[in-house]
Structure 1
Amino acid sequence: MKTAFLKLPFHFSEEKLLKDLEVCKKYEFTSHFNKNDYSGDWTSISLRSPNGETNNIFALPQTEKKYKDTELLQKCTYFKAIIDSFECEKESIRLLNLKPGSVIKEHTDYNLGYEDGIFRIHIPIVTNKGVHFFINYEEVKMLPEECWYGNFNLPHSVRNEGKTDRIHLVMDCLRNDWSDKLFAESGYNFEAENVQPEYSRETKLQMIEQLKLMDTEISREMILQLQKEL
């Protein structure tokens, strides 16, 4: 069975994470672009984006555009130190904020598992006991100071039933020898990663709608491939 999630062997300072979060709160967060995937209030701000702007929150894996650090990242010295400690290339890096009472509906992403050459990292900054994060139908309790990988090709959803925000630092990183060693030490199942996921017709249609919102050359190529598979 493919590895759905992994807790990675890092331990960060909650105090320093919160300090950089306060810097980010002085900027405007942008509502997530895919309105179909959530209800309530789900917002984001970019520390690294395709054009270097904080309000560009698109995160398409291995896009044709070179990702750039935003001006905000330069003001967040601890976030930058964490990012630099990952010895691999990075694409999108964002803060994602799920407000109280909000829900990210169950969905699957496309080409967003370690087997695809990319891995998404979640570092919780603010959370509460009412947050319920499910990956492949299993609840994952992510706490501040921790670091997690999730295979988001698999079904996943989040509910914030608490009274405070849920804010994570989310990084998309490109796989290399350093990350292979890290994942091996953390218990990743390499033998299972070549098993191709079987997406339902409904899931493929949802993926196509998500990719249409991005409107890039690579997203259009993905749409054509998915349409052939319908």
Structure 2
Amino acid sequence: MRTHFVGEVALDLARLESDLATCRSLEWTEAYSDYVFGGSWKSCMLWAPGGDAGDGVVTNYVYDRPAGFTAHAERLPYLAELIRETADLDRLNFARLALVTDSVIIPHRDLLELSDLPDETRNEHRMHIPLATNDNCFFNEDNVVYRMRRGEVWFLDASRIHSVAVLTAEPRIHLMLDFVDTPGAGSPARVAGGGVEVGIPADRIVTRPPLGDDERADLLGLAPLLSMDTFDEVFSIVIKKHFRRDGGPDFVWNTMLELAAKSPDQAVLPHTEELCKHYTLERSA
């Protein structure tokens, strides 16, 4: 299933804000925070195999147990209702809140570490519903940057290289749902239009100016400063540039590999190559 806009849900904003206020007091995990540069990435599990909130790392759950709501979801009645009304619970593996502030996420593919799981239990389809967002929150797939609006329902092809930028201290909170694949069963989203793959609407796509030669030269001029000590800072700069300027396909990883090859720190290039392999090609559980 390719990335596409599904439709919208009519959010009850008063009940939503009540649940979002309550959720701040729940136990959030920082699973997958190694994908993030900057502020915070946190998640709160609302539905999982065995109804166990767990640690948020999807490979650490016992998949042969029936999935169900966690104790966190029991304190969030509106969000639990939204999940019941929007998702095919028979195919739902995980539902979690994802909170991001002032951060960029490394371009990566998801699901790589799940390849050894049986087809009937492996996450195959991911759905997003933004609950709190703003115009400084961006999603990216391949070389397309776009926004998802509050209350919209999206299916994402998480097997393609994608990343996120939240360029504000204002929290972005999404409801993320992962489903198993059931051939011939139709869309796992109970939303009008859920069976139609319309792609990314043109009015959601962010038009970025082309990256100029001077800007590219300035970025490559960071090579003498790139070391294992400054690696995260330089990587963050390159990702942020990608969300503001169009540097072409695979801009982030190509730029980081070029910078690493010119770095005076000989540890940087093998480190960058290993990260690129880990985030985009193969990853163990």
For residues 54-69 of structure 1, what are the structure 2 equivalents within 5 Å? Answer: 54-60=53-59, 64-66=63-65, 67-69=67-69
CA distance in 1 between counterparts of 2:129 and 2:105 reads: 18
Which of 89, 92, 105 is the aligned partner of 2:91? 89
**TM-superposition CA deviations, 1:160-190 (whole Å, max 9, x none):** 11230111010112234131796542447xx
Partners of 2:93 and 2:123 within 8 A in 1? no
**Local SS of the residue matching 2:196:** helix
CA distance in 2 between counterparts of 1:62 and 1:178 reads: 26
1:47 paired residue number:
46
For residues 174-213 of structure 1, what are the structure 2 equivalents within 5 Å? Answer: 174-176=180-182, 177-179=185-187, 183-187=194-198, 204-206=277-279, 210-211=283-284
Of 19-28 and 55-64, the range deviating more from structure 2: 55-64
**Local SS of the residue matching 1:31:** coil
CA distance in 1 between counterparts of 2:126 and 2:48 reads: 15
1:75 paired residue number:
75
CA distance in 1 between counterparts of 2:50 and 2:56 reads: 10
**TM-superposition CA deviations, 1:195-224 (whole Å, max 9, x none):** xxxxx997553368853xxxxxxx4xxxxx
Q: CA 1:65 to 1:12, structure 2 compared with 1: closer, same or farther past 3 Å?
A: farther
**TM-superposition CA deviations, 1:101-129 (whole Å, max 9, x none):** 211111111368xxx87211111111121
Partners of 2:33 and 2:41 within 8 A in 1? no
**Local SS of the residue matching 2:186:** helix
Q: CA 1:202 to 1:42, structure 2 compared with 1: closer, same or farther past 3 Å?
A: closer
Partners of 2:33 and 2:42 within 8 A in 1? no
Partners of 2:130 and 2:150 within 8 A in 1? yes
Which of 178, 184, 209 is the aligned partner of 1:172? 178
Q: CA 1:12 to 1:152, structure 2 compared with 1: closer, same or farther past 3 Å?
A: same
**Structure 2 segments unaligned to the other structure (5+ residues):** 115-121, 200-272
1:151 lines up with 2:157 in the alignment:
yes
Q: CA 1:180 to 1:162, structure 2 compared with 1: closer, same or farther past 3 Å?
A: closer
For residues 119-130 of structure 1, what are the structure 2 equivalents within 5 Å? Answer: 119-130=125-136
1:8 paired residue number:
6
Q: CA 1:63 to 1:108, structure 2 compared with 1: closer, same or farther past 3 Å?
A: farther
CA distance in 1 between counterparts of 2:24 and 2:283 reads: 27
**Local SS of the residue matching 2:4:** strand
Aligned residues: 194
1:84 deviates by: 1.5
Code of the residue aligned with 2:77 in structure 1: it is T
1:142 paired residue number:
148
Of 81-90 and 129-138, the range deviating more from structure 2: 81-90
Code of the residue aligned with 2:278 in structure 1: it is L
CA distance in 2 between counterparts of 1:38 and 1:109 reads: 14
**TM-superposition CA deviations, 1:134-163 (whole Å, max 9, x none):** 022211211111111110110111111123
Code of the residue aligned with 2:4 in structure 1: it is L
Q: Which runs of 4+ in 1 moved over 4 A?
A: 60-63, 180-183, 200-204, 207-210
**Structure 1 segments unaligned to the other structure (5+ residues):** 189-199, 212-218, 220-230
1:60 deviates by: 4.3
CA distance in 1 between counterparts of 2:16 and 2:197 reads: 23
Greater radius of gyration (CA): 2
For normalisation by structure 1, the TM-score amounts to 0.71
1:130 deviates by: 1.1
- Pairwise CA RMSD of aligned residues? 3.1
Of 66-75 and 123-132, the range deviating more from structure 2: 66-75
CA distance in 1 between counterparts of 2:275 and 2:143 reads: 18
CA distance in 1 between counterparts of 2:29 and 2:73 reads: 16
CA distance in 2 between counterparts of 1:29 and 1:135 reads: 27
